[in-house]
Amino acid sequence: MSNPVGTFQTYQAIGNREDLEDVIYNISPTETPFMTSAARQKATFTKHEWQTDSLKTAVTSNQAVEGDTPSNTTVTPSARLFNYTEIATYAFNISGTQQAVRPAGRAEEMAYQLVKYGKVLKRDMESALTNKNCAAAGTSGAARVSASLESWMSTNWTTNASSPASAASPGFSTVGAVSPTDGSVQTTVTAALVQAIIKQCWTSGGSPDIIMCGPYNKIKISSFAGILTNTIQQGAKGPATIIAAADAYQSDFGLLRVVPNRFSRDRTIEVLDMDYWAVAYLRPFQQFALAKVGDSDQRQLLAEYTLVSRNEAASGKVADLATS
């Protein structure tokens, strides 16, 4: 098949306008479930401190003789804990020429990049908050680090954490957050493992309300008995919808939401009482112009924050889980 001689085609044309959509498609997720669920509070120094306390174990033998002179009970002091604020930041330059031209998909380049990197900053913070970073005071040449969620949990494997026997270090000790050491063996999560942690948190005094997990173990949890949504819904019109996902888990100690987190480690499932977690900001989210150098404009985005574990015994974790 051939074209008539002399047919002018797009291959020879010079002046055709480009067909560029005026939309930018970005699939990167921006949900930050832990940071969104945690309380927000104020820090006033780079070392943020708080106190925890607990009541002595209840006894059945507290009966006094009539008229007896009581003996003094030894008073135990509260515990004083701390974490360091860390700085999350991005800076970028946009040339004067790029600001002057007409970009596709956004009205103005600087505004677009500020929104974009604001989302990137929140993703970084969610990842740092839910990981196993150990606290670091920092120096003039090294950044401060806030101890993460996994590092704040449990003195030993007999309290609010469980793992295969090969695991060496669970995290929190009586002096503060300690980065856990991953075990060499990973196991498949079971309902019994999660139930045991929920029970331990409740026994310690917590009322956990969230099970936070990665994508692989979210699917595993959906197969547990006790999941509230595992049904078929048929509307008046249209096809039936099969719901086989775990939105909530009804435990013996209350209802817990099952929340997948793209930025937490899939090998650890956290059972959280969110009343006892907060993010304290020394400097909240902000953006400002840096000194102008040459024909460009520079902006910096910044947040300075730390994780506050108001009482680690209210939450727990199942560590060293299989992820595939």
Q: 241 falls in which pLDDT band (50, 70, 90)?
A: very low
Asked whether the predicted pLDDT for residue 129 surpasses 60, the reply is yes
For the chain, what percent of residues have pLDDT higher than 90?
51
pLDDT at 157: 52
Tell me the pTM: 0.85
Residue 206 has pLDDT above 50, yes or no: yes
Mean pLDDT of 133-138: 92
pLDDT confidence tier of residue 322, bands split at 50, 70 and 90: very high
Could you tell me how far CA 308 lies from the centroid of its own chain? Answer: 13
Q: Per-residue pLDDT averaged across 193-205, rounded? A: 91
